Amino acid sequence: MANETNENKVKIQWYRSSIATPEKHKVIVRSLGFTKLNQIVERPDNDSIRGMVAKVPHLLRIVE
């Protein structure tokens, strides 16, 4: 496994509830590793993660 401490990371915050959103949006939030509202997770900064965040910009934000 490669040393991932030096790779670029992105911090993502889940800041709005997904109660009244389509099931696909809820799946995206859960697949990024969120379990609680206002939680911040750190993920690799690549196109797939950025694309997932771009699908639900009304629920997630990138924190830096």
List, in order, residues 6 or more apart from 28 with CB less than 8 Å away.
Answer: 52, 55, 56
Residue 6 has pLDDT above 80, yes or no: no
- Higher per-residue pLDDT: 11 or 5: 11
For the stretch 10-55, pLDDT in tens is 999 999 999 999 999 999 999 999 999 999 999 999 999 999 999 9
Task: State the Cα–Cα distance between residues 58 and 55, nearest whole angstrom.
Answer: 9
CB-CB neighbours of 60 under 10 Å: 23
